[in-house]
A = this chain, B = another copy of it.
Amino acid sequence: MRKKLKSEMGWSTADRIVVRGRDLAGELIGKVSLGDFAFLELKGRLPTKQESIVFNAITVTLVEHGMTPSVIAARLTYFGAPESLQGAVAAGLLGMGDRFGGSAEDAARMLQEALDGPPLPRQREQSISPHPARRSARRVGERVEKEDLKALASQIVSDHKARKQPVAGLGHPVHKPVDPRTVRLFEVASENGLSGRYVKLMQLVGNEATQVFGRDLPVNATGAIGAIASELGIPWRVCRGLAVMARAIGLVAHLQEEMEEPLAAEIWSRIEDESSSHLRPSSD
């Protein structure tokens, strides 16, 4: 007996295309922005005005980070395969893994598991979002209401310290003592009524870690994004996807620049020469 294949994303007939229950031509094109459409895709409904501002704010933050390893990889790939722009973007996205895309995911996971609890055993297989009933139960009663977020933050930091693990979403090699994006993102969330327990907990974790580890560990941009995405009800497993979708935009723009002012051949030539110079005959 076969399982029925089912998707709720969209369908079409000769004269209609429907996305998430809405008529593409009649209700969406020309009326909804790309960021709001992304929210619709992920949540199954359009955002409120406040949600729109906040969701666009976090995705905008993830688009462009200059000449990152991911961008350089995309440019080098385009050099070898100019017939396949999609391949160069894909190569760039493949670098959005644990080190880059993963940090917002890790922060969101830490917060969601702390405030919503780990999924129940059966859920672990079945669902990525905490069971709604349980979630509200949790919020109202059991843990979050009666605990105090500060105690939760202490526990998170001491757990990480005991495991000798860095806390996700804290610190930045360049943007210190504060990450200007974090300040602004938390401001935008707050102005739009989306600065709740997840944001508060993230901030408390940052304060606590700064004390416990004895050095500046402010919340960085990915920590802020993980917290705010949690406020928007985005499951932590999808948070890496926010970075991926945003970065796809940045990669296309870098490839456009590479078409006009190519850097790949120069990068290749320098690296190849230097990295084999100790092997080549000296007269060469």
Contact = CB atoms under 8 A, between A and B. Distances in A.
Interface in A1-28: 2-20, 24-26, 28
Q: Interface size class for chain A?
A: 35 or more
| Residue among A9, A20, A26, A53 having the largest count of chain B Cβ atoms under 10 Å | A9
A77 B84 contact: no
Nearest to A28: B60
Given A241-B252, A267-B271, A276-B11, A127 B260 contact: yes
Nearest to A26: B184
Contacts of A275: 5-7, 66-67, 263
B9 A248 contact: no
B33 A33 contact: yes
Contacts of A52: 33
A166 interface: no
A280 B18 CA distance: 9
B128 A259 contact: yes
A213 interface: no
A10 B59 CA distance: 17
A83 interface: yes
B85 A86 contact: no
A147 interface: no
A15 B175 contact: yes
Interface stretch (A91-99, A148-156, A204-212): A91-99
Contacts of A56: 32-34
A245 B254 contact: no
26 contacts: A3-B263, A9-B253, A11-B280, A29-B57, A33-B52, A34-B63, A37-B249, A38-B249, A69-B79, A69-B267, A72-B72, A72-B268, A72-B271, A73-B77, A76-B95, A84-B94, A85-B241, A86-B95, A86-B240, A90-B91, A93-B248, A94-B94, A235-B256, A242-B252, A248-B248, A267-B271
